[in-house]
């Protein structure tokens, strides 16, 4: 039976930590039991506060949203239901960036959860609370949404294993999607084995059957997938992070699972967008237009009608989003189709793309606005790739820079989520051997 924490209401309304939460990860703590048995029996789950949990409010990282949508949810989101059915136990709802439109985890209204893996640095967002809770051992598993990196970035900053699922693979009924054509569900865990088990509970059946990559149990033949190393993506990483990530990719654990014959190439050079521009920075501009158009379409009337006071950064992004025209959107949609076809052709049914999850370790808290914007653009030039392709991506905490975690990612073909999780578990086992 769910039992609300004693500080639940004050933390939801005023941003203080929920009862027993010394790192500020939870906006609301309670205990909601799942099925008596299943692959996730006994697993403590922290749910991002843009998913409905029956009997509790959904704040969406915004006190204004909570005030205008105050009632408890009548039903749990589909993703929450799937994990409860697998035996998980919801231990509370985690903080998030305001309306999921940021990547640092710094919420002007509720504060910043502590990053146990990188003290004094941001946890990443927008799935900040679940990531912080898992990193600190206050939860075993985190559930979040990922539009432009909101699971993958916190996974990298907090030293966690993370999954962004294939777009549409997990129903988002009962979740607030920032940009529906990009937003999908994702998971965070401290170990790859649990991430794979949770993926098995969360992922809906793939329409044509989930494709299996070479080297995975469901596919015979080649011993490893065709490994594509996106050199231009690695070039976006800071020098020390690039070296550490390259070393992790070449290490025996990764080589055993991914093969010893990677192909280096510049991912963004293969398709022109925006009237002839190439490169991952140009891909981000395509993503930014579509994300912004959809974000304003979803929230613009509410923001304007309620006179909502948004926090810095989020406010400016919504202001820019409000000015995106239908013609800009149409051009960006055509560019996205070109990028999507390019990625599908590269991956086929046997390829994986290796790239950094983020350009480097988590930044320090309170990064000045201009530097934060520059860092965000660099981050999203990496994270937009899977978003534009609607592809699954797994982030693996395999590298460190000055003791701080940095994630190495694999992107696979649409629907290959299970294979990516299997490869990640094999790499983790090899690294631990």
Q: pLDDT tens digits, residue range 285-337?
A: 999 999 999 999 999 999 999 889 999 999 999 999 999 999 999 999 999 99
Q: Quickly tell me which residue has 């923001």 as its tokens.
A: 303
Question: Residue 210: pLDDT band by 50, 70, 90 thresholds?
Answer: confident
Angle between helices 78-85 and 192-202 (to 10 degrees): 120
pLDDT in tens, 86-107: 999 999 999 999 999 999 999 9
**pLDDT value of residue 19:** 62
Instruction: Tell the burial category of 237 from Cβ atoms under 10 Å away from its Cβ (0-12, 13-18, 19+).
Output: buried
Question: Residue 208: pLDDT band by 50, 70, 90 thresholds?
Answer: confident
- Lowest mean per-residue pLDDT among 14-28, 74-88, 168-182: 14-28
Record the pTM.
0.95
- Residues assigned a catalytic role: 48, 126, 150
pLDDT in tens, 112-148: 999 999 999 999 999 999 999 999 999 999 999 999 9
CA angle 328, 332, 337 (to 5 degrees): 155
**pLDDT value of residue 12:** 40
Domain positions in the chain = 8-273+318-432
User: Mean pLDDT of all residues in the chain?
Assistant: 94
Q: Is the pLDDT of residue 14 over 50?
A: no
pLDDT in tens, 343-401: 999 999 999 999 999 999 999 999 998 899 999 999 999 999 999 999 999 999 999 99
What sign has the CA pseudo-torsion 99, 101, 104, 108? Answer: negative
Question: Are the C-beta atoms of 225 and 188 separated by less than 8 Å?
Answer: no
pLDDT in tens, 233-261: 999 999 999 999 999 999 999 999 999 88
Q: Which residues contact 207 (CB under 8 A, 6 or more apart)?
A: none
Question: Residue 220: pLDDT band by 50, 70, 90 thresholds?
Answer: confident
Q: Which CATH number fits domain 8-273+318-432: 1.10.10.10, 3.30.70.20, 3.30.420.40, 3.90.1300.10?
A: 3.90.1300.10
DSSP 100: G
**pLDDT value of residue 21:** 77
């Amino acid at each position: 039976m769910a039992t609300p924490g004693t500080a639940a209401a004050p933390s939801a309304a005023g941003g203080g930590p929920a009862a027993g939460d010394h790192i500020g990860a939870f906006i609301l703590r309670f205990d909601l039991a799942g099925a008596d048995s299943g692959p996730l029996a006994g697993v403590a789950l922290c749910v991002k506060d843009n998913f409905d949990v029956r009997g509790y409010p959904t704040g969406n990282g915004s006190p204004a949203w909570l005030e205008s949508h105050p009632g408890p949810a009548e039903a749990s989101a589909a993703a929450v239901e799937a994990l409860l059915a697998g035996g998980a136990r919801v231990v509370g709802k985690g903080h998030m960036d305001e309306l999921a439109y940021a990547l640092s985890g710094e919420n002007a209204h509720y504060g910043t959860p502590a990053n146990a893996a990188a003290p004094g640095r941001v946890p990443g967002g927008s799935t900040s609370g679940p990531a912080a809770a898992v990193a600190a051992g206050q939860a075993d598993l985190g559930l979040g949404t990922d539009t432009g990196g909101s699971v993958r970035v916190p996974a990298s900053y907090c030293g966690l294993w993370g999954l962004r699922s294939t777009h549409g693979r997990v129903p988002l009924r009962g979740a607030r999607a920032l940009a529906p054509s990009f937003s999908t569900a994702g998971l965070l865990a401290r170990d790859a084995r649990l991430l794979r088990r949770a993926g098995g509970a969360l992922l809906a059946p793939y329409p044509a059957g989930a494709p299996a990559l070479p080297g995975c149990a469901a596919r015979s033949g080649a011993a490893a997938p065709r490994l594509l190393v996106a050199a231009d993506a690695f070039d976006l990483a800071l020098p020390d992070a690039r070296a550490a990530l390259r070393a992790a990719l070449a290490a025996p654990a990764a080589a055993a699972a991914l093969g010893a014959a990677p192909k280096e190439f510049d991912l963004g050079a293969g398709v022109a967008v925006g009237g002839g521009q190439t490169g991952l920075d140009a891909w981000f501009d395509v993503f930014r237009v579509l994300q912004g158009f959809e974000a304003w379409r979803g929230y613009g009337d509410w923001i304007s009608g309620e006179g909502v006071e948004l926090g810095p950064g989020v406010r400016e992004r919504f202001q820019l989003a409000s000015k995106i025209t239908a013609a800009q959107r149409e051009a960006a949609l055509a560019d996205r189709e070109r990028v999507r076809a390019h990625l599908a052709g590269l991956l086929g049914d046997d390829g994986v793309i290796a790239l950094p999850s983020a350009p480097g370790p988590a930044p320090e808290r309170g990064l000045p606005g201009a530097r934060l914007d520059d860092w965000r653009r660099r981050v999203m030039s990496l994270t937009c790739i899977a978003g534009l392709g609607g592809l699954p991506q797994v982030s693996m905490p395999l590298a460190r820079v000055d003791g701080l975690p940095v994630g190495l990612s694999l992107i696979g073909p649409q629907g290959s989520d299970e294979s990516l999780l299997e490869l990640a578990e094999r790499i983790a086992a090899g690294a631990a051997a």
